[in-house]
């Protein structure tokens, strides 16, 4: 499956640049953005990290500012360049045409990513080993592919197509409605996109407003504690543990997925990380995501970075937005309204309602505007008008512009989980299939 000439450029949707705030203002904003840990009643915690998995599929900024990922949902962060490539051929095993992923380490042969002697995960994108949950999601999709080959008799190409369509369907029918609301999706599909306008694959690009600000809403969803699985005897685990499993960290066994940390394999354990219908109000109190709001977990105010680097995520995001030359929240709202989308702008009082410095009342950094908008308009349950429009139009537009995506398929599914009468697939469907292996 090839995608032709897919642009690897980042481009702005709104050709304006906000007035630069001095660093002391950015520090003021960051200083009051936490800590907090209020649960989102409608989004289980696993979706925080699925969103990160999606981000790694779409973007990887190189030193020259170009995107090292194809900005389409093709799982290049999972499959890399494939088993025939010099770059990633060693990640696979099995006969030609029926290759599967190598998995496991000597201490946990079935429940970990394939690692070298230094315990570094051998995967196309090292970011998918930067915390324990995203590493487990990488392994989940590897095992999904492997089971399609071993249990369904598929070739490598058939399994890759099937995994990719399932993943795309999860993005569209299970993930996106949770973060933007189904009504927004329905409106876009009925009336068309208004701001992200590619219609075919060679017109696709990655909107800077999406990657540099609006899609970073997930940072506010990180919790302080998680009840990871039954092997912790229902006792919560501090989120700091999750960020100590970074790929590339020196020291053998420093970040392996041990059998205690394996995400899949026990249906109830994993389902309670993704399925709101079975969350126990006591046992799983920590397994809701954080609200999409202006408060971040304390873990994100002390990132493990190189000595001398900025370890406060909020400050890093605010600096990044200015370096990218992003428009401010007010400018983006104005552009969206001009394009014909119904968006309610925030008042200055609403923007400052959580103690933000007065300097940003009429010149609000786009990332912060995205978060305060969700907080004011939806009590943090999902994104607000502007942020939801940017995220929904980008994701839907990327799917619609890809002739090989699940929304444009011209053939039947080779194999499908979930509802057989629609293209809908849930994460629970995939977890159940892999966990029953």
Cβ atoms of 184 and 127 within 8 Å: the answer is no
pLDDT of 117 above 60: yes
Chain-centroid distance, C-alpha 322: 22
For residue 115, give the 3-state DSSP assignment. strand
Query: Are 80 and 124 a contacting pair, CB within 8 Å?
Result: yes
Which residue in this structure is represented by tokens 């697939």? 425
pLDDT per residue over 158-175, tens digit each?
A: 999 999 999 999 999 999
- pLDDT of 244 strictly over 50: no
∠78-80-81 over CA atoms, to 5°? 150
pLDDT digits (tens, 9 = 90+) for 179-225: 999 999 999 999 999 999 999 999 999 999 999 999 999 999 998 87
Q: Are strands 100-101 and 92-93 parallel, antiparallel or unpaired?
A: antiparallel
Omega within 30 of 0 (cis) for the link into 35: yes
Domain ranges of the chain: 10-435
List, for residues 296-340, the tens digit of each pLDDT value: 998 888 877 778 788 899 999 999 999 999 999 999 999 999 999
Residue 22 binned pLDDT confidence (cut-offs 50, 70, 90): very high
Among candidate residues 332, 372, 370, the one with its CA nearest the CA of residue 195? 332
How much is the pLDDT for 278? Answer: 62
Q: Answer yes or no: are the C-beta atoms of 80 and 321 closer than 8 Å.
A: no
Distances (CA, A) of 256 to 57, 97, 140, 287: 22, 30, 15, 22
Q: Give the distance from CA 46 to its chain's centroid.
A: 10
Among 11-15, 129-133, 403-407, the least confident range: 129-133
CA 211/CA 55 separation, integer angstroms: 8
Two tokens, residue 101? 């992923």
For residue 384, the model assigns a pLDDT of 99
Smallest CA-to-CA distance from 304 within 261, 249, 237 is with 249
Architecture of domain 10-435: Orthogonal Bundle (1.10)
Residue 288 pLDDT: 85
Question: What one-character DSSP code corresponds to residue 174?
Answer: I
Q: What percentage of the chain carries pLDDT values higher than 90?
A: 65
Q: What is the DSSP string of 35-85?
A: ---PEEEEEETHHHHHHHHHHHHH--B-TTS-BSS-SSSS-HHHHTT-TTS
Is residue 125 pLDDT above 60, yes or no? yes
Nearest partner of 113 among 246, 274, 251, 239, judged by Cα: 246
């Amino acid at each position: 499956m090839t995608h032709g000439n897919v642009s690897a450029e980042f481009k702005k949707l709104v050709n304006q640049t906000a007035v630069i705030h001095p660093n002391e203002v950015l520090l003021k904003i960051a200083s009051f953005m936490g800590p907090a840990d209020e649960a989102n009643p409608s989004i289980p915690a696993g979706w925080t990290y699925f969103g990160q998995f999606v981000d790694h599929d779409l973007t990887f900024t190189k030193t020259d500012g170009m995107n090292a990922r194809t900005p389409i949902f093709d799982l290049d962060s999972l499959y890399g360049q494939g088993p025939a490539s010099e770059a990633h051929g060693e990640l696979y095993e099995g006969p030609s045409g029926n290759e599967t992923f190598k998995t496991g380490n000597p201490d946990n042969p079935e429940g970990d990513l394939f690692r070298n002697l230094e315990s570094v995960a051998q995967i196309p994108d090292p970011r998918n080993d930067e915390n324990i949950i995203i590493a487990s999601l990488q392994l989940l999709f590897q095992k999904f592919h492997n089971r399609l080959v071993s249990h369904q008799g598929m070739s490598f190409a058939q399994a890759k197509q099937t995994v990719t369509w399932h993943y795309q369907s999860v993005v569209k029918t299970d993930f996106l409605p949770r973060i933007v609301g189904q009504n927004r999706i329905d409106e876009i599909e009925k009336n068309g996109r208004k701001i992200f306008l590619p219609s075919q694959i060679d017109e696709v690009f990655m909107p800077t407003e999406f990657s540099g600000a609006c899609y970073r809403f997930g940072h506010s969803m990180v919790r302080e504690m998680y009840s990871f699985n039954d092997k912790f005897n229902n006792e919560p685990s501090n989120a700091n543990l999750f960020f100590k499993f970074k790929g590339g960290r020196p020291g053998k066994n420093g970040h392996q997925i041990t059998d205690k940390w394996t995400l899949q394999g026990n249906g109830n354990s994993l389902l309670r990380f993704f399925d709101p219908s079975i969350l126990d109000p006591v046992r799983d109190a920590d397994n809701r995501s954080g609200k999409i709001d202006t408060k971040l977990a304390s873990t994100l105010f002390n990132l493990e970075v190189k000595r001398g680097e900025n370890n406060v995520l909020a400050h890093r995001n605010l600096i990044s937005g200015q370096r990218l030359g992003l428009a401010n929240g007010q400018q983006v709202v104005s552009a969206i309204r001009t394009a014909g989308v119904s968006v309610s702008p925030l008042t200055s009082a609403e923007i400052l309602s959580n103690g933000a410095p007065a300097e940003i009342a009429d010149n609000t950094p786009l990332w912060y505007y995205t978060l305060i908008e969700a907080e004011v308009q939806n009590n943090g349950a999902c994104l607000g008008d502007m942020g939801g429009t940017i995220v929904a139009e980008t994701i839907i537009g990327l799917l619609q512009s890809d002739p090989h995506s699940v929304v444009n398929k011209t053939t039947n599914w080779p194999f499908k989980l979930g509802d057989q009468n629609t293209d809908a697939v849930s994460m629970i469907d995939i977890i159940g299939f892999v966990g029953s292996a």
